[in-house]
């Protein structure tokens, strides 16, 4: 039962966090919002780029099984390490202009938002599908999107994030939309 609870919790929490981040990405990049409105088939590209840019699960803790070296830094076997997916997703050698929201990147799906190898997220296909379908429905119904504060005024920047080392998510998100 514990594994099932972890899967349900992890899948819900990360998808919710990534989806709210994606709405912020679109609200703060009106050109991308308009491109998506004009071509809803771009939803999958927008989802992937938002996952890369706003990785909800920042990484995982691990223990090195063998002596290794990364970037000239020795890592002895038994060392506790944190694999930072979010850092890999902003590697300028892999993603030119790593801090920019560019859904048309050639390698838009090459991010580490869902981990990799044996630790690849079992729920990745479901999360992607949920996000794409929801985004397609939103873009079909909403004309405009704007981030606001709780009173409906323009948002105060930067937005506030929950205090978590591993999960990245907004404390709250207020939007003004027109239909």
Q: What local confidence, expressed as pLDDT, does residue 121 receive?
A: 81
Q: What local confidence, expressed as pLDDT, does residue 139 receive?
A: 96
Task: With respect to residue 131, please indicate whether it lies within any of the assigned structural domains.
Answer: yes
pTM score, whole prediction: 0.88
Task: With respect to residue 5, please indicate whether it lies within any of the assigned structural domains.
Answer: no
What CATH number does the domain containing 102 carry? 1.10.630.10
Domain containing 17 equals 11-178
- CA 144 – CA 175 distance, rounded (Å): 10
The structure tokens listed for 43 are: 């939803």
Q: What local confidence, expressed as pLDDT, does residue 60 receive?
A: 85
Q: In the chain, how many domains are there?
A: 1
Q: Which residues in the chain show pLDDT less than 50? A: none
Task: With respect to residue 6, please indicate whether it lies within any of the assigned structural domains.
Answer: no
Strands 144-148 and 174-178: antiparallel
Task: With respect to residue 2, please indicate whether it lies within any of the assigned structural domains.
Answer: no
Task: With respect to residue 4, please indicate whether it lies within any of the assigned structural domains.
Answer: no
Q: What local confidence, expressed as pLDDT, does residue 64 receive?
A: 95
Cβ contacts of 104 within 8 Å, gap of 6 or more: 45
What is each CA distance from 66 to 6, 83, 88, 119, in whole angstroms? 28, 15, 22, 18
For the chain, the C-alpha Rg in angstroms (whole number) is: 18
Q: How many CB atoms lie within 10 A of CB 90?
A: 16
């Amino acid at each position: 039962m514990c594994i099932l609870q972890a899967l349900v919790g992890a899948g819900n929490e990360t998808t919710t966090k990534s989806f709210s981040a994606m709405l912020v990405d679109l609200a703060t990049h009106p050109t991308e919002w308009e491109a998506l409105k004009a071509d809803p088939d771009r939803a999958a590209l927008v989802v992937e780029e938002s996952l890369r840019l706003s990785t909800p699960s920042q990484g995982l803790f691990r223990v090195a099984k063998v002596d290794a070296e990364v970037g000239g830094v020795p890592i002895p076997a038994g060392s506790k390490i944190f694999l930072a997916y979010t850092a890999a997703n902003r590697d300028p050698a892999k993603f030119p202009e790593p801090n920019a929201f560019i859904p048309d990147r050639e390698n838009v799906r090459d991010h580490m938002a869902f981990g990799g190898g044996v630790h690849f997220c079992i729920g990745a296909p479901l999360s992607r599908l949920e996000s794409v379908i929801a985004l397609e429905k939103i873009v079909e119904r909403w004309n405009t999107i704007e981030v606001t504060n709780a009173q409906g005024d323009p948002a105060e920047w930067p937005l506030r994030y929950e205090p978590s080392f591993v999960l990245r998510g907004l404390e709250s998100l207020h939007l003004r939309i027109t239909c």
